[in-house]
Structure 1
């Protein structure tokens, strides 16, 4: 173990995880004598200079974040072509694993986890860093119950659960990303808030709100489909909690919480009165009163002698939040009543709270639904409840005519005080014209997604042979960057790949192996597997059988298998030793791949097995059928390719 050192100081101890982009190791920092986690970027991402630069820049920015709910980054570096991040080692479990193991969370616990991540995002946003990939896989829960978010540095890397934008940058993980990410639009702090709302939805219901067979379909659902309220799956969910989720996941950025702080305060001050939804999921039961875990993972207990101190602390907190003096006094009475009820189990505590809530408080009213109304109609309707109406923005809409209200904040059925202002977004109708996206050189599925996302319609899709790979768009009509009305039909021509070129199969019978190989190469063909069998009709070491009959038309580039005569002696198979010299590796940590091609076909006997250059060497024992080749690959570089004859045991 002591020889396996990265950057001269990090002793790699054991592999503890692997994702689509990186391998994670537990390691010991010799310099500071502490355990850390090290993420090493996989080799396939080290060839993309643009990705590496983004990876380095964002990792260094994330390293400046020091917060109890963010996994600390200690170091970012490079050794050879190994790119790595050294970070805090968390002893706990990933939130996604917790959801799979335990299912839906009790809502108090789900709220506490969400509040902690909201605090982390707030801190990052204030430092001008947007996460872009908030999801349970990137949230760790320590053994003490503290939630920590990670992967600020590589949130934009590509895997099968992501959608890629016009510039090749990743917009987020498909089940959690926002409508603007799906559209390839402007991403800001509210995009993280949307993703956090989806996470909270999953914590409460055990499922994501949108799911389908492929990422593109899920992306379209984020853009177009209404979310099923979580109360449809969870019985007795607090109405305020559902409203918070629906606001955080509003399809319009402007209608979400303005900041992560605002979402945190909404969760902290929510009313826990329950609402009885259909409850298609398992019904949850909750205690009427419980001691909540603090954000830092510790718990608080209420003692009788601390009553005045607690009231004093809340008074200071209310002053900091600039709340009216009258409300401070009311909160003090409420707190005192609750503490007395907890300490002495007074059954009448409900009546005490009901009485004190009426002292000097403004009347509460239920917000009506004003969507579809004009601003004048909405103003009159809201005035009946002593509420105000204010236009926030004008937006394009297919559903609502120009001048009609598209959305409102707060949403209908929420409870507010008289005099509250209801902000509305007003439709300016369907945009008269838009710009058709350029989808040439994209896959047909990506092209369809982009065209529909921009409000246009996919028309005829024709195919033809070309030098482009199969399924890549060759042409489009109208051309990209053309101004056109929404709904305009865009026709595509998609590549079938190069036209198949065929050549007549040569006659190899009676040739030796080298002559057969040369003859095949003249025709643009190649030698495939070479087998050996007894034959009295053909001389030893001459071709006695070929896969394709002479004169048959076959595709250029085809590998042709043959069998070679061993004369009157039976064919054998010998194990052959092969010494691998690790000194030929470019990096200390590298991936070993060994591929054998013989009479049985092509097979990989070692597939990207991690090795260490400092181990020196390793001897493999090769076995197979007939003759063929063995290829040795370090990372992505072929370091050895030899011919092998398992009949004679010769390797050269």
Structure 2
């Protein structure tokens, strides 16, 4: 018999185990979907601070909704079980991928790194810092989607974890920042440092610092220089190496300002490498490829780079017969511009003179050009005294071919008259890229799926507060790569559900039962009375619909309330014993009662199965006393019992 939590989560099989929790594949009976449920191990339930953090911080993580973050759906407690309900991710842990396949191809590492940065960006914008970014906390789906897990969840201390004051867990030793090692101020840039270490491990197959114990490794993070990745493995693009070294700078202010900035830098690795080559980026060790732009004219002046069609200062002697202007820029300056654009190294004065044309007529607000054609955008900018420049053409599934995808400066930026606004233009969706249909109507979703060469797959209805017939999820996800002709499944909103799971009322008072019913949209129906040896006076002894069953909202539920037992002398009280804390699958149960008439065993080493979940035991006695429950030879609980009132505490 499988265990069901909260009347809806059916535990199917154990799929993972960590230092402080066990993870089960489970089925949400209410929404008819598979989920992962993380359950705090029994040995930690007495640590009230840990349990409270487990609940409070997981609720904060549940506010994060992003394709690169494992979703947290629910947090709860049932008896002694503290649990978190999460998205079930079918795939591999990044640490296993590195172990089995590392070092990874740099393009794959960049792709995973961008996705982790995107997830961190979402968290940071919601004022949540992960504090323990590492490959063990990144899941990669079969389609290559990276998802960060364990956001904000209190970490258990093990032999690879460092703690601060009051046993505050600070992070895993191989990946945490120097400020974490010092017990200093931790912010978003601490996560960026950890991501840099993860990138380093993906590229090289090993972490930069290792030692015999956590303290040794912590000191290395504080004091030792990181060996550049290119000195560990070959084939690392210099720009990628500089991004990793910038992210892992020991001084926080020298790192990327945000996860977004690091993500953008990673996006441009191949672009910048193709422009400047492998040797000019902040110096070269190989001595090869010393020219920044691959100049094929040997008679050019040393230290200059020809740029065709530019608007900078022109030397008259550089005009060719075709009338084209040739601008000469010092290689070092060109490289500095590239570096500044990618890694945010300040050369604002140089950029000011080379790419800006500032006027003196006050500030202008840059309009939002996304979705407009070049002609429409040019007309709008001309009217404001700004200049449009066409930049890259990019694949994009959101904007049609010819529409503007992005711009620099961003919309609503304040600029001077004459400022150049560079735009990227869509060349349509890349063949094999799944369109985004979430938030679209059913009709629009079908249109987009067919437009991009895919087939409409299974369409199901799910509970959501989104408008009816609006797409709430899709498989594969947007921007995933899939061959044309593949079916795309999606879920549309059926509006709010008209059914709920019936709560457990047995043992509750009538007032408490009313509260439980009202909380899920049900009402109390007819009440009757009866005698019971299992339930004390005033407790509900019977409910019309069993706990966990599906029932229509608004339905009235009939109950029967115990008047106690009519028998004089000893009275009976019901005790609910939860088996989840049993250490063995098969164990011996002993229940001992002490009251005014003496001490006796209700059960003596009777065999039970952990998978049975729980058992209601009828205790008989007089006056006041105690009940002690043992699993095998260990005391599981000891409670006070008032047989006169039926209360157990």
Tell me the TM-score normalized by structure 2: 0.48
Tell me the TM-score normalized by structure 1: 0.48
